[in-house]
Amino acid sequence: MSFRAAILTLALILAAASAARAQQPSILVASTTSTQDSGLFGHLLPLFKARTGIDVKVVAQGTGQALDTARRGDADVVFVHAKAQEEKFVAEGYGVERKPVMYNDFLLLGPASDPAGVAGVRDIVAAMKAIAAKKAPFVSRGDRSGTHLAELKLWSEAGLDVSASEPWYRAIGQGMGAALNTASAMQAYVLADRGTWLAWKRGGDLRPIVEGDRRLFNQYGIILVSPTKHPHVKRAEGQAFIDWLTGAEGQNAIAGYRIGGEPLFFPNAGTAN
Amino acid sequence: MRAPATDLPIRFDNVGFDIGGAPVLDQISFTLDGHGPTVLLGPNGAGKSTILRLAMSLAAPTRGRISWAARDAAQAERRAIVFQRPVMLRRSVAANLAFYLDRAQLNAPARAARIAQLLQQVGLADCARRPARQLSGGEQQRLALARALARDPEILFLDEPTASLDPAAAKSVEAILRDIAASGIKIVMATHDLGLARRLADDILFIARGRLVESAPARQFFEAPATEQGAQFLRGDLVL
Amino acid sequence: MGADAFGLMLGDPRLWSIVGLSLSISLSAVAVAALIGLPLGALLALTRFPGRNLAIVVLNALMGLPPVLVGLTIYLLLSRSGPLGAWGLLFTREAMIIAQAVLVTPIIAALTRQAVADLWEEYRDELTALHLGPMARAGALLWDARFRLVTAALAGFGRAAAEVGAVMIVGGNIDGFTRTMTTTIALETSKGDLPLAVALGLILMLVVLGVNGLVWVIARRGERNDGIIRSDPLRGA
């Protein structure tokens, strides 16, 4: 094949490859890696699209990062699990209104050997005090995610100031899946959301150590980014998603998402959460 | 814009050329006009190539003046040059010719016909599709000649056209040169090959050490050189 | 992880759509980079201007731009709060193409400059005697350097296809939209979910090997076109 012919063919292929994409209505949702990793979006979004024809594109980051992305106007909707941060976001004028969507819980996972001897303890704060006292290895996400912020809140309730200089406390700055892998490899404790825990393909050695404490409750909220602050925000489509998610259909879809028969999330829109 | 009618006669008027301050040519004066082939004869390093390059407007003289038909022409539209080791473009033989033909603005069938004709003239008709750089030395020299002819020149400069060729190749190149001269193109050729000069030249410019030592019709130079240096060169005794 | 799981993976259309997206993004980036880099390289090779040598040194250094740095810079530029925010390009495929084009252009430009400069040294007398204008001259040199330029483009493609930092940051790794082979491998590995990551890793390896194989073939053809003939019966090659 002559050189010229080869170039012509390549040009045609490139032209065909960049054929006009249909202008689908779409929104960008900034959410968290734990929500993404749980597989919830893979379950929900096709249902929403079938209902409304709107494409939902999810950028999954840590909670802090997701809220920053929304502040910059790079997303239409933000969907995270850190109530205090979310309310601050709305108070600052970046969001229209915060609505609760669903909850799950965190649990403390750890190695079967349980070096701090806290398996089955009901009081999470007491358990974490024991871990610190024993200097048992503990993996933290360290990435300003909702999980990380919840973990820090518990440490402060325990009256402890953990920093990365403590050798037993490992802040890795990564997502939930990576944190579980690391904790498993290091035989360390780790705080995780139930969704990621259930979706995690266990190859390792973690098991639930402490669960059920009210302080481990993890509430998810959804907010439309303010079109006043960012006029380009897709208000109608974004609101459609929020309405669907907090309405009967979305709430049922959330409840219907299970792994091994167990639900990962519990819908609670319309409650004062 | 049509090319100017002619570049002849070419006149060198006390031309000097320095490289890095050192004179390579000095006090060169002669006139080239449209009769038969003029041969620049002389030992290696005499400055013959430099004269060709100046006549081709590839460089400007340091001293003196050159004129083409009494103009200071920089555009060498009716002049073509074949360098000592011609560089083949990294394309086929035919594509090389097409590139040199480009200015002629022929349509595709006319161009193809001209390419075929030129290849025929230099004996490369069955090499048209071969990569030019895979040709032998003699074949490349002949392609270089065809390329120069593609420019439809009035004057053809050649720098040592047979210096790096074996006798058979040299012979075929010489035959082509004879045909070119016969077709009315003015040939100006630099060589140190006495035999070639004898057979082809109408006029001789004998150059040695950057000076024009002797200028005479060929017959006169070869039978009775006017200078001692000329005589020594013809005997093969010239020691510089 | 058994051979069955692997085989299932290869039959999954999502895997092939990820592969297709990666290749089309990197190919588009190379096309854009070539559009800019080829003329730029020729310009640098053939023109003289003050600061030219510095420009050449900087261009060569830019070949080693860290992808995450490019990603961060383009992210800041394209964010709605950034100077080019009105274009709305963040988290799109176009942004990924732009980022990779930024990575690849210095490679193509620098290699083009070298190739054109080498050829110009060789062709200088002939092309000057033809009294060609600058465009015709550049065009002739670029065409004659075509084999080296194609290998430069392939080198650029290899770099683009293998990087993860730039496309991750500007693309957002959105499922079904801006997720490439490399970002998927990073994501699945961090989830501890290896079959898809390994399958994609193998395909990526094949792409890289394929590209390098092509480079070798084209380089050989280029040598033949240069007149370097490698088969020597005396040496039994």
Contacts across the B-C interface (CB distance below 8 Å):
40
pLDDT at B76: 66
- Please classify residue B63 by burial: count the beta carbons closer than 10 Å to its beta carbon, then call 0-12 exposed, 13-18 middle and 19+ buried: middle
Q: CATH number for the domain including B161?
A: 3.40.50.300
Query: Would residue C139 count as lying in a domain?
Result: yes
Q: Does A229 touch chain C (CB under 8 A)?
A: no
* Cβ-based neighbours of C73, under 8 Å, separated by 6 or more: none
Interface test with B, best of C135, C148, C225 (most B CBs within 10 A): C225
Query: Would residue C96 count as lying in a domain?
Result: yes
Query: Would residue C149 count as lying in a domain?
Result: yes
pLDDT score of A188 more than 50 = yes
Which chain C residues contact residue B76 at CB under 8 A?
129, 131
pLDDT score of A214 more than 80 = yes
pLDDT averaged over every residue in chain A: 88
Among A21-25, B63-67, B91-95, where is mean pLDDT lowest? A21-25
ipTM value: 0.87
Q: Do C126 and B86 touch (CB under 8 A)?
A: yes
A7-21 mean pLDDT: 58
pLDDT at A189: 94
Which chain C residues contact residue B80 at CB under 8 A?
129
Q: Which residues of chain C have pLDDT under 70?
A: 1-5, 229-237
pLDDT at B66: 92
Contacts across the A-C interface (CB distance below 8 Å):
63
User: C interface toward A at CB cutoff 8 Å?
Assistant: 24, 27-28, 31, 79-82, 85, 88, 90-91, 146, 172-175, 177-178, 190-193
In three-state form (DSSP H/G/I as H, E/B as E, the rest C), the secondary structure along chain C is CCHHHHHHHHHCHHHHHHHHHHHHHHHHHHHHHHHHHHHHHHHHHHCCCCCHHHHHHHHHHHCCCCHHHHHHHHHHHHCCCCCCHHHCCCCCHHHHHHHHHHHHHHHHHHHHHHHHHHHHHHHHHHHHHCCCCHHHHHHHHHHHCHHHHHHHHHHHHHHHHHCCHHHHHHHCCCCCCCCCHHHHHHHHHHHCCHHHHHHHHHHHHHHHHHHHHHHHHHHHHHHHHHCCCCCCCCCCC
Query: Would residue B54 count as lying in a domain?
Result: yes
Query: Would residue B117 count as lying in a domain?
Result: no
Q: Do B81 and C131 touch (CB under 8 A)?
A: no
Among B165-169, B215-219, C77-81, C189-193, where is mean pLDDT lowest? C189-193
Query: Would residue B105 count as lying in a domain?
Result: no
Compute the residue count for chain A. 273
Split into its structural domains, chain B has a count of: 1
pLDDT at C1: 52
Question: Helices in chain A by DSSP H: which ranges?
Answer: 3-17, 33-37, 40-52, 63-71, 83-91, 124-134, 146-157, 176-186, 194-199, 235-246, 248-255
**With bands split at pLDDT 50, 70 and 90, how would you rate the model's confidence at B73?**
low
Q: Do B99 and C140 touch (CB under 8 A)?
A: yes
Query: Would residue C226 count as lying in a domain?
Result: no
Query: Would residue B216 count as lying in a domain?
Result: yes
Query: Would residue C227 count as lying in a domain?
Result: no
**Domain span at C199:** 2-221
Q: CATH number for the domain including C82?
A: 1.10.3720.10
Tens digit of pLDDT for each residue in B50-72? 999 999 989 999 999 999 887 77
Percent of chain A with pLDDT over 70: 90
Tens digit of pLDDT for each residue in A120-160? 899 999 999 999 989 999 999 888 877 888 899 899 998 88
**Domain span at B29:** 18-87+152-235
DSSP state of B92: B
Query: Would residue C176 count as lying in a domain?
Result: yes
pLDDT at A16: 56
Among A91-105, B119-133, C221-235, where is mean pLDDT lowest? C221-235
Split into its structural domains, chain C has a count of: 1
Query: Would residue C235 count as lying in a domain?
Result: no
**With bands split at pLDDT 50, 70 and 90, how would you rate the model's confidence at A21?**
very low
Query: Would residue B121 count as lying in a domain?
Result: no
Q: What is the pTM of this model?
A: 0.84
Q: Does B76 touch chain C (CB under 8 A)?
A: yes
CA distance A187 to A204: 9
Q: Does B17 touch chain C (CB under 8 A)?
A: no
Which chain C residues contact residue A72 at CB under 8 A?
79-82
